[in-house]
Amino acid sequence: MHPLHDPSGLEALSQEIKSLALSLGFHQVGITSTDPLLDDGEHLKRWLSEGHAADMAYLHKSPEFRSDPKRRFPEAKSVICLALNYHQPEPDPPQTHQTGARKGKVARYAWGEDYHHIIEEKLCALIQEITARGGKCWKGYVDHGPLLERAFAQRAGLGFVGKNTNLITDDYGSWVFLAEVVTDLKLIADLPATGQCGTCRRCLDACPTGALPEAYRLDARKCISYLTIENKGPIPEDLVPNLEEWIFGCDICQTVCPFNNQAIPTDVPGLSYRKGAGARLSIDEIEAIPDNATFKARFKRSPLLRAKRTGLARNAAALQPTQEMKS
């Protein structure tokens, strides 16, 4: 019997692919089917209809594809879900603060190089290995494709979705990037994760802008990460006083989460704050950037390019009044 049709062969192949993924530097790997996520698909539709996606129009485009990979790839049978740990401790004070300097905080995931480049290189290598073993892969996703990443990752056993809507893993908490490979191989699926937050509501209570009005529901219109990155317009005046010095992204709902208390530092060199923008940005420096070319050169290979020069300058300007009040 051909190994791709032999149950024992499929088990061996599934384990081999997992081992390959780990050897390429991914920290977790799980497998699930391409069966549609019916409940999550309905939740997404309600979330969109309630306006919680703010101005992210791309999320409204064919939302049914996000819960059902077979709509795009009819022959697809398995989703290989991957996680990469990005946690690192805060740099020592001399590296984050200067006397009298005006600084804005950067979300931890963006301290180093752009994770897309790091993960896509690993994905390409994994897809090559799968193809060499007779599998067809249509796509490797890193948060920029129509797929409900956290829901598929939960069904693949990587972790559970917490009240702050982040995927929470056993070993790395929520400090993980997610990625997926869709293939026509019918691999052995893992059991879904079953963890939960219990009665804890620290993330809901800690959000300074009220972006988590209830458990498992994020309102992007009030989320500091959205307001400082994806948002193309001005930051609402009533929310400016609550930015809490965040100039790019926000980590509040993660730092207060008990599952992140014992986070393991990442072993990926490119994610280190020494490789990129670091944990804090000088507001004076942002204001002094004269043009887009200078901005792109300053933040080459950094996630901060996502906000564009105009967005980062807007964020810097919004932080000035609050910092002046504290000084």
Residue type, 202: R
Instruction: For the chain, give the mean pLDDT.
Output: 93
Whole-number Å distance between alpha carbons of 226 and 208: 14
Residue 145 confidence (pLDDT): 84
When pLDDT is averaged across residues 285-301 and rounded to a whole number, the result is: 96
Residue 1 confidence (pLDDT): 42
When pLDDT is averaged across residues 62-73 and rounded to a whole number, the result is: 94
Q: What is the pTM of this model?
A: 0.93
Q: Where are the alpha helices (DSSP H) in the chain?
A: 7-23, 38-49, 64-67, 93-96, 115-132, 149-155, 202-206, 224-225, 252-255, 283-288, 292-298, 308-326
Residue 323 confidence (pLDDT): 57
Q: What is the pLDDT of residues 187-209, one digit of tens each?
A: 999 999 999 999 999 999 999 99
Residue 139 confidence (pLDDT): 79
Three-state helix/strand/coil letters over 113-126: CCHHHHHHHHHHHH
Say which CATH topology domain 7-91+113-183 has: NADH Oxidase (3.40.109)
How do strand 246-248 and strand 176-183 relate by DSSP bridges? unpaired
When pLDDT is averaged across residues 48-67 and rounded to a whole number, the result is: 94
Smallest Cα–Cα separation from 155: which of 26, 20, 33? Answer: 33
Smallest Cα–Cα separation from 157: which of 190, 180, 189, 195? Answer: 190
Residue 50 confidence (pLDDT): 96
Residue type, 134: G
Active site residues: 143
Q: Enumerate the domain spans of the chain.
A: 7-91+113-183, 202-264+276-326
Q: Which of 229-233, 238-242, 275-279, 321-325 has the lowest mean pLDDT?
A: 321-325
Residue type, 310: T
When pLDDT is averaged across residues 300-318 and rounded to a whole number, the result is: 97
Q: What is the pLDDT of residues 17-29, one digit of tens each?
A: 999 999 999 999 9
